[in-house]
Amino acid sequence: MFMGEYKHNIDAKGRIIIPAKFRQELGDKFVITRGMDGCLFGYPMTEWESFQNKINELPVSKKDARSFTRFFFSAAVECEFDKQGRINLPSNLREYASIIKKCVVVGVSNRFEIWSEQLWSEFSEDAEANFSEIAENMIDF
């Protein structure tokens, strides 16, 4: 399980350190792709395969299903750690998430997310201000 919030910097080569607690959960290989709300999603291989199986069940005849599948899979990259526990984030993913220098790595149950520090701050402030309403709406699930 992924949880917690960790602030990091991207180096000049586009590398980021993934927290040690997350590296233990991820194993040797994992997947990073575009996420929602302007962040990146990172999945252990077992979670990615489970997600992939669900996506494969979507009807290819539906335009939204095709778009959703393309969005996630076209940007997905398989990652491995270097000896310092870093990964290289491709430029297209950094651009998508507006990550230039400072970023935040956040644990979200079965995945982790990588946010630009600015977008994470904006999201956190909004979520905090509306948390009671968000919690109330979650009852419907």
Q: What is the pLDDT of residues 75-96, one digit of tens each?
A: 999 999 999 999 999 999 999 9
* Arithmetic mean of pLDDT, 135-140: 77
**What is the rounded CA–CA span in Å between residue 15 and residue 49?**
25
**What is the rounded CA–CA span in Å between residue 69 and residue 23?**
27
Q: Are 60 and 66 in contact (CB under 8 A)?
A: yes
Total residue count of the chain as it appears in this document = 141
Instruction: Write b or e for each residue in 111-139: b if 16 or more Cβ atoms lie within 10 A of its Cβ, otherwise e.
Output: bbbbbbbebbeebeeeeeeeeeeeeeeee
- In tens, the pLDDT along 19-61 reads 999 999 999 999 999 999 999 999 999 999 999 999 999 999 9
* Arithmetic mean of pLDDT, 1-27: 96
Q: What residue ranges do the domains of the chain occupy?
A: 2-138
**What is the rounded CA–CA span in Å between residue 92 and residue 6?**
22
Q: Which two tokens stand for residue 118?
A: 């600015």
Q: Tell me the CATH architecture of domain 2-138.
A: 3-Layer(aba) Sandwich (3.40)
Q: Using pLDDT thresholds of 50, 70 and 90, give the confidence band for residue 141.
A: low
Tell me the pTM.
0.93
Given this model, what pLDDT does residue 129 score? 87
Given this model, what pLDDT does residue 131 score? 84
